[in-house]
Amino acid sequence: MTTILQITSSLRGSAARSSQLADELSTRLSQRHADVRILRRDVASQPIPVLDAEVLGALGATERTPRQAQLAAQYDALVAELQAADVIVIAAPMYNFAVPVQLKTYFDAITRAGITFRYTAEGPEGLVRGKKVFVVLARGGRHKHGASDAQTPFLRQILGFLGMTDVEFVYAEGLDMGPEALAQGLAEARASIAQLTSDLTSIQQPPVAA
């Protein structure tokens, strides 16, 4: 069984272009490969507790109150879900040149010292390895490869920090620039999805040595 974890983050839910394109990508992957299941997590409709002093205290406590146990369990469940997945599909609309705060909170929740990364004498080492990652980026304007694109560097950095270096980006741009630009942006994104899923001969990942 191969597990695809699809993470969406738009405030517009299933009506969002990023969510729709992520659905299409996950569906194409599941159709091309046998014995695949898709787990969907919408961090906008089911928000994660923000990493604040209360959450930090809960994560670090050796003896937890019921409230601390609840908070820690929510964060631990996200990590377990990520570790169990073989393929990650992330839908990231652009909000004010960055990822939605709900998606940033997700990364705050899964970035855990000693669990998803560790520090060594040579520097940090990501512990979430052996994953294939697809990131669908939806933008109202055009930002790819430009100074205004803060999303791609951040996502590549945080994913790589955690050990996920096999990452493909799908860009849907110009979506708010009129009907023609919308059609072109979606067509280009779908062509990229078709190419990436066709090129992927297998989504089974090799075991990772401890």
pLDDT for the residue 206? 44
> Residue 136's closest CA among 81, 192, 174, 187?
192
Along the 210 residues of the chain, how does pLDDT read in single tens digits? 889 999 999 999 989 999 999 999 999 999 877 788 999 999 999 999 999 999 999 999 989 999 999 999 999 999 999 999 999 999 999 999 999 999 999 999 999 999 999 999 999 999 999 999 999 999 999 999 899 999 999 999 999 999 999 999 999 999 999 999 999 999 999 999 999 988 765 555 444 444
Single-letter code of the amino acid located at 107: F
Please tell me the predicted confidence (pLDDT) of residue 34: 76
d(CA 98, CA 104): 9
What 8-state DSSP symbol labels residue 128?
-
Among 95, 199, 99, 97, smallest CA distance to 155 is for 99
pLDDT of residue 182: 96
Q: What is the pLDDT of residue 207?
A: 44
- pLDDT score of 202: 55
Q: How many residues does the chain have?
A: 210
Query: In order of start, what are the domains of the chain with their CATH numbers?
Result: 2-177+190-199 (3.40.50.360)
